Structure 1
Amino acid sequence: MSWQSYVDDHLVATGKVTKAAIMGKQGGVWAASSGYNLAQNEQDAIVRTAFTQPDQVRANGITLNGFKFMTLRADADEVIGRKGDRGVFIIPTNQAILVAEYDAPTSAGEANVVVAKLADYLKSVNY
């Protein structure tokens, strides 16, 4: 299965995630939903800062595709951001990082279940 199909079929097609990307832990976007373009500085913030300097992420928020989210949680397992009706989950696996945004009326819990399920699967197959 291609990385693009994970984004399209396992995240966006659920109706609970509006935009998503899968990045490598060493950098680079492996796949992204249509029109979801993470700038290089946004990618760097995820890869280099999000999970290693959580205090900085909590203090400054996280910007994705030009939209800045306030950080609700940042630790080694997950970064959660929210602003208005939009939210984001950023979850690392063994080799990848899942980035998934959602919008109202989807609740944070509904979106989190979808993203966490894919993250758990990728971890189980060493990705």
Structure 2
Amino acid sequence: MSWQTYVDTNLLGSGRVSHAAILGLKGGVWATSSGFALTPEEQRTIVSTFDAPDTAQANGIRAAGRKYFCLKADGRSVYGKQGADGIVCVKTAQCVLVCVYLSPIVPGEANKVVESLGDYLISAGF
């Protein structure tokens, strides 16, 4: 399965994620949804957040030009909110899933979809 298929089918296709990207831990965008553009700086910052979660808690999370208030940050997951919208980032062995959900999607629905794909990729060695 291609990385783009994971974005299109597993994330956007769930109806619980509005925009998504898969970033390589060593850099680069492996796949992204249409119109979801992360700057190189945003990419680097999101990937490095998992090594220093306190940074996200102090500064928030930026993705596609939007800043999200950090609700949770640890070595595996980062959750953020901006009004009724939010962001979920999950780190695997080789990549980071970056997913944004827009209202009326609720956080728990998006979190479950992204975390489940993260679990699958980890179990597959990715």
Match of 2:17 in 1: 17
Q: Which amino acid aligns with 1:99?
A: V
User: For the residues of structure 2 that align with 1:125 and 1:47, how far apart are their CA atoms?
Assistant: 20
Residues 45-60 of structure 1 correspond to what in structure 2 (within 5 A)? 45-48=45-48, 50-60=49-59
Q: 1:65 matched to which residue of 2?
A: 64
Alpha-carbon RMSD across the aligned residues, in angstroms, is 0.7
Q: Which residue identity lines up with residue 101 of structure 1 in the other structure? A: V
Query: What is the number of residues matched between the two proteins?
Result: 126
Q: Shift in Å at residue 88 of structure 1?
A: 0.6
Percent of residue pairs bearing the same amino acid type: 48
Runs of 4+ in 1 over 2 A off after TM superposition: none
Aligned partners of 1:55, 1:124: CA distance in 2, in Å? 27
Per-residue CA shift, 1:50-84, capped at 9, x if unaligned? 11111111010011000000101111011100010
In structure 2, runs of 5+ residues without a counterpart are none
Letter in 1 for 2:18: T
Alignment correspondent of 2:40: 40
Alpha-carbon distance in 2 for matches of 1:125, 1:44: 24
Segments of 5+ residues of structure 1 without an aligned counterpart are none
Query: Take 2:18 and 2:56, find their aligned partners in 1: how far apart are those partners?
Result: 23
TM-score, normalised by the number of residues in structure 1:
0.96
